[in-house]
Structure 1
Amino acid sequence: MSRLDDGTLSIVEDSSDAAASARGAHLFLVLESLKPLAPPVRISLSGVAQVVFGRGSSRAIGRQQLGNPIQLSVRVADPWLSSMHARLTYVLRRWILEDAGSKNGCTVQGARQTQAQLEDGDIIELGYTFFIFREELPHDVGDPMIFEAPAPDQRIGKLATLLPSLERGFSRLASVAKSTVSVLIEGETGTGKEVIARALHEQSERKGDFVAINCGALPRDLVEGELFGYRRGAFSGATEDRPGLLRSADRGTLFLDEIGDLPAPSQAALLRVLQEREVRPVGATKPIPVDLRVVAATHRPLERMVEEGTFRADLFARLAGYRVELPPLAMRREDLGVIMGTILRELAPERAASLEFAPRAARALLYYPWPGNVRELEKCLESALVLVGEGTRIELEHLPVAVQAALTEAGTGRRPAEGNAEREKLVGLMREHKGNVAAVARTMGKARMQIQRWLKRYDIDAESFRK
């Protein structure tokens, strides 16, 4: 079973696995503006006393010298970096970024700083290279100190992440894919649920097709005919036999998108198909065997819908053999460079390697909260490529107006406006339930622990609502 853990997908472990988990400071090299396809990197700061940043002939990240305490060196082929640009030092249980006399200075949260005490989620700009600092990121004690995002040909489908718990979830999907276990993918619209479903199908080695069905788009009076097929003459307008979408996925993968929108009668009919592994077309007298691997997705809280009686508990149990929850893009900002690289390779395969981003454009992309998630990012980059024409440098003016406006937040020294909509929703519910975290959790269909994590992340004081 999976659940959202501090903005990343995590798996509920047994006691032996849980003992190996920890939280610790990490630094992410998110984006090189001049080389957006360069693989982003996660650096664990556990046991590290100091990190030195500077320009190199090529990227090189590793120990600056042998022995303890550990000192790391981060060299990037960024001409706007000085050879000795900045130092990140652990002092009195705090991480301090200090300019080392660089020509172009250091920027934290969009504001120039000679010295800054870092906070969780801070965006650091050194030259044309962007980093994100995380103070207490969940990870396994056995994770590597330096982890580079895998090359496209080493990924499961298009799935790639630098976040440790999400990385483990993606890795386990390879094992799940080769089984017949049903998978339920949960997450906001645009987070990439269909990408995971297609990756599962590609890894499954099933011979049939991948058939995607948007349950919310099916005409309510024709749902069963569309799904299960029908015989000629079964109803007015049935002028020929139709196999239906479920039979089209025979020996393949059936992706039921927005399963929470499926009407109650159709839920019962679908349950029979999953139980009996056979389909009875509308108007037919005999069922037809089908071999289906079912992957379902939803942005709705199915567990709460089960409690309310609007979604069948037995169908939910059939669909939720393995559950994953994709966090919104605003809560996995560390992956922005990884995702951008994937999108650019798809949209412009012949010129992606020559593209670069102006610093102001890169800064806006990192500060924007992405309410439409990965889908919105893809549309943003697609339009930018059109506007840049034959050029190779994407400027701020090539980005949508809403993304450009994110720069008004940058330069204030504040954290990005990530998850503003989520924060406002949470504040409203906390006010409505007078600070009762358990009641808010029930309303949102989330675990109580998840609400507590979000309260901490968005700096919301539950006590203030109980007065």
Structure 2
Amino acid sequence: MPDETVSTERAARICAPPRTARLVVVYPRSLAGAHPLDEAPAVLGRQPGAPGAIVAAHKTVSRQHASIRWDQAAGRHCVADLESRNGTWVDGQAIQALPFYLEDQAVLRFGDVLAVYERRDADLRDTPQVSHEAVPGDSLAVRQLRQAIGRAGPDRSPALILGETGVGKENIAAELHRLSGRQGSLVVINCAALSPQLIESQLFGHTRGAFTGATQEHGGMFRAASGGTLFLDELGELPLDLQPKLLRAVELGEVVAVGSTQRHRVDVRLIAATNRSLVDDIEQGKFRRDLYARLALWEVHVPPLRARRADLIAWIDRLHRAWCAPRSRVSPAPLEFPTAVAEALLRQTWPDNLRGLQRFLHACGIEGERRESDPWPDLLSFGAGAASVAAAIASTQPEAAGARAAPRRPRPRPSREALLATLMANDWSIRATAKHYECERKQITRWLGMYAIAVPERPAES
């Protein structure tokens, strides 16, 4: 029997593409649309091309502007510029012919067209029974949220809504209540708004004379919500000594008023919400593990704005209309932003989420009161962002009357791979590379030192 030959070469890793991936064009609004991505390469350009082409019919987009393809070895989509006239950026960084790998929620700019890359390893078909008015948006993150709401809504088990401040947890609680079909009311109580001395009587009720100021009997929120839903907002603020009583009410369906020994049966579905990490609070002894286990039979995770950037422009329009409604009888036109401002809005982290966005729109003022010469509000005041955001906003400020035209803004600092590609394309000429990046030669020298790039010897440049 001949000897078998065993290869010592490692097989190339092959990664399947995500079950759902797409490029969502978000600005200008007239070009808005979602374009599915898979293993087949796609070319984005101004004019229709081969099957699978992504058409962005805008004057700043080249006929064949950029390519997007799936890299099986890396397990990611990547984008490359096709020598476009107005350039391609990813998260504010200029890219060239070398492929640049994309992460979920990456903000792409093709000329003056903005898009968001989304990916999920799940089949995210929409959930029609969940109201798009209550839970608006078409991003993959919001589709995933509506799926969770659709599963948890009809059940009577407790549900825990987790999310940062300002993401709209109370609206989601209302939608869960609507989907439950319960005939009673949705009763809301904010655990952070009441003192520890009052919250027990607010929840479970009290008898007359149970404590100073209790001049009459009070039934409590549990009994008020009987047959419906009780929503406990800011659950993480619930005092530790009150948590066993809440656990008893949830498990046994009965409450005892302060100052009484009589038990009252209640039929209540409990929904709670918090922006705190209850798991961390449990480890620190601030929250009971058994109560968490009982309340988290359903967990609904609400994504922050930075995880659903494809919906941001639509949220701006929605909040702008809501802000203008009580101040004007005329339906307002959507706010139009310079591309740099729109890009900066998309790239913000928005730590206050929708509240931060509302503050930004309030600072903008309604369109009828805003003049073209007015500067845009400083986005850094409404959410921590990249340092380049400040430069992007500054570049959009109108010039003072009679002022000289500002010099053209240089491109952002390239990545090491992009710089190498440009150097090789220009035969390692520092002068030609500086001209390409519209900067001085000493800036190229600084980048070379920062990236530890050794330049081959060349004849001295004049």
**TM-score bucket of the superposed structures, by smaller chain:** 0.5 to 0.7
Task: Decide which of 343, 346, 359 is 1:379's aligned counterpart.
Answer: 359
Q: Which residue of 2 aligns with 1:48?
A: 40
1:29 aligned partner:
24
Instruction: Rate the CA distance shift 1:30–1:353 in 2: closer, same or farther, 3 A.
Output: farther
Change (3 A) 1:286 1:55: farther
Root-mean-square deviation over aligned CA pairs: 3.7
CA 335–182 in structure 1, closer or farther in 2 if over 3 Å, else same: same
- Partner residue in 1 for 2:120: 138
Letter aligned with residue 320 of structure 1: A
Residue type matched to 1:371 in 2? P
Mapped to 2, the partners of 1:125 and 1:276 lie a distance apart of: 56
1 or 2 for the larger relative contact order (CA 8 Å, sep ≥6)? 1
Greater CA deviation, 313-322 or 299-308? 299-308
Range moving further from structure 2, 327-336 or 309-318: 327-336
Of all paired residues, the percent bearing the same amino acid is 30
**Using a 3 Å threshold, how does the CA distance of structure 1 residues 30 and 217 change in structure 2: closer, same or farther?**
farther
Match of 2:245 in 1: 269
In the TM superposition, what whole-angstrom CA distance separates every residue of 1:164-206 from its partner, at most 9, and x where no partner exists? 6x52342231232111011112232223322321221232232
Give the CA deviation at 1:46. Answer: 1.3
Partner residue in 2 for 1:397 = 376
Give the CA deviation at 1:358.
Answer: 2.2
Shift of 1:338: 4.6
Cα offset for 1:318?
1.7
In the comparison of the two structures, how many residue pairs are matched?
Answer: 369
Structure 2 distance, partners of 1:73, 1:345, is 35
Contact 2:233-2:272 at 8 Å conserved across structures = yes
* Unaligned stretches of 5+ residues in structure 2: 1-15, 393-410, 416-462
SS in 1 for 2:121: strand
Structure richer in strand, relative to its length: 1
Distance (Å, rounded) in 2 between the aligned partners of 1:242 and 1:211: 15
Normalising by structure 2, we get a TM-score of 0.68
Q: What is aligned with 2:445?
A: none
TM-score w.r.t. length of structure 1: 0.67
State the alpha-carbon separation in 2 of the partners of residues 246 and 77 from structure 1: 57
> For residues 364 and 178 of structure 1, what CA distance do their matches in structure 2 show?
40
Which stretch of structure 1 is more off in the superposition, 361-370 or 388-397?
388-397
Determine if contact 1:357/1:394 at 8 Å carries over to the other structure. no
Q: Partner of 1:287 in structure 2?
A: 263
Whether 1:87 and 2:66 are equivalent positions in the alignment is: yes
Does structure 2 conserve the Cα–Cα contact (< 8 Å) formed by 1:110 and 1:413? no
Tell me the CA shift for residue 277 of structure 1: 1.7
Match of 1:97 in 2: 80
Is residue 209 of structure 1 aligned with residue 185 of structure 2?
yes
Q: Is the 8 A contact 1:358 1:395 kept in 2?
A: no
Whole-Å separation in 2 of the counterparts to 1:32 and 1:346: 21
Determine helix, strand or coil for the equivalent of 1:222.
helix
Q: How does 1:2-401 map to 2 (within 5 A)?
A: 23=18, 26-34=21-29, 41=34, 43-54=35-46, 65=50, 71-76=51-56, 78=58, 80-82=59-61, 84=63, 86-90=65-69, 95-99=78-82, 101-102=84-85, 104-110=86-92, 115=97, 117-121=99-103, 122-133=106-117, 137-140=119-122, 155=132, 157-163=134-140, 167-348=143-324, 351=331, 354-386=334-366, 388-390=367-369, 397-398=376-377, 400-401=379-380
- The higher radius of gyration belongs to 2
Secondary structure at the counterpart of residue 255 of structure 1: strand
Cα separation, partners in 2 of 1:25 and 1:321, compared to 1, 3 Å: closer
Letter in 2 for 1:138: R
Larger deviation: 214-223 or 119-128? 119-128
